[in-house]
Structure 1
Amino acid sequence: MTKLLNSAFEEISKLPEIEQNIFARFIINEIESEKKWEKKFSNSEDLLSNLANTALNDFKKNKCIELK
């Protein structure tokens, strides 16, 4: 554990139990949310790369129209 994180937990441990639980729930929710986003986007990198390549090829072949 980093010194900063350890220091934060030390300060949180001085708070009333209800506030400690609020911080704990917030941290857990953030970690779970981050895991969900990582899972959702882990498979999209290849798709995005293919879409970008298609768009670039279309642009080079003058198949694109200017949006105004």
Structure 2
Amino acid sequence: MSDLEQIEAAILSLSSTEFEQLRLWFLDLDYERWDKQIEQDIEDGKLEAFAQEAIAEFEAGHCREI
């Protein structure tokens, strides 16, 4: 049995309370990793073109309040 299969089996055996705790922990971990990836992308300049495009659209008056 692979590690993933063991993890899946263990998850299926959790009580509702334990499953909820795991779900919340996993969501927090996912958000944390997403934040780190965004921070790294910003640091690497990968989002610079999008930022410049958004600023240009705003300055050209192509934005509206929502």
Report what 2:5 is aligned to: 6
Q: 1:6 to 1:32 in 2, by over 3 A?
A: farther
Q: Whole-Å Cα distance in 2 between the matches of residues 14 and 37 of structure 1? A: 32
Please say which structure displays the higher CA radius of gyration.
1
State the aligned residue count. 44
Name the Cα RMSD after superposition: 1.6
Instruction: State the one-letter code of the partner of 1:10.
Output: A
Q: 1:6 to 1:14 in 2, by over 3 A?
A: same
Report what 2:42 is aligned to: 43
TM-score by length of 1: 0.53
Shift of 1:4: 1.8
Q: 1:11 to 1:24 in 2, by over 3 A?
A: same
Instruction: Compare relative contact order (CA 8 Å, sep 6+) and give the higher one, 1 or 2.
Output: 1
Report what 1:50 is aligned to: none
Report what 1:27 is aligned to: 26
TM-score by length of 2: 0.54
Instruction: State the one-letter code of the partner of 1:42.
Output: D
Q: Whole-Å Cα distance in 2 between the matches of residues 45 and 38 of structure 1? A: 10
